Structure 1
Amino acid sequence: MNIALVDLPDQRSRLFPLTLTRPISDLKIGILSIREKWEKRLGQSLSFVTDDSLKALFPPIAESYDLIINAALCPDESLIHAIQNLRMDQSLYQNDLFIAAKGGFSYSQTPDISEEKVSYEDPLTHINRAWDMFLNNSEEIKKDFDLLTEGKTSAKIEDPHTIVYGAENVFLEEGVKIKAAILNAEKGPIYLAKDAEIQEGATIRGPFYLGEGSRINMNAKIREGSTIGPGCKIGGEISNSILYGNSNKAHDGFLGNSVLGEWCNLGADTNNSNLKNNYSNVEMWDELSQDYLDTGLQFCGLVMGDHSKAAINTMFNTGTTVGVCANVYGAGFPKKRIPSFTWGGVRSMLVYDFDKAMETVEIVMDRKNRSFTDEDRKLLKHIYETNSKAS
Structure 2
Amino acid sequence: MQSIPLKLILVYIYIILFSASNALCSQLNNLRCPIEPTELATPKFNSEYNGDIIYFCCSECVSLFEESPEIYSKSIQEIKSNKNLETEKTFIQKIIDTTWNLFFQFPGSFSAILILFICLILKKFPFAKWVLKNSWKSILIIALIFDLFYTHLVHKESTKTNSLVEELHSTTFLEYGEPLIPSISKLPASIKKTYYRGNDERNPGLYNGGNYRTAEFTIDLCNSSNDTIGYDSVVNYNNLFLRVTISKTPNTSNHFWSKKKMSNIYVTANSEKFHWSKNRLSDATNLYKIDSKNEWQFKYPLKSFSVGNENKLIKGIIYLCEKRYNQNNSLIGGRFHYAFQFDLKIISNEISNTSDLWMGPLYRKRSLRIWEIPESEWLSTDPIPINQMNDINKDPILIGIDEKD
- What TM-score do the two structures reach when normalised by structure 2? 0.19
Specify which structure has the higher proportion of strand.
Answer: 1
TM-score, reference length from structure 1: 0.20
Q: Which has the higher contact order (CA 8 A, sep 6+)?
A: 2
Bigger helix fraction = 2
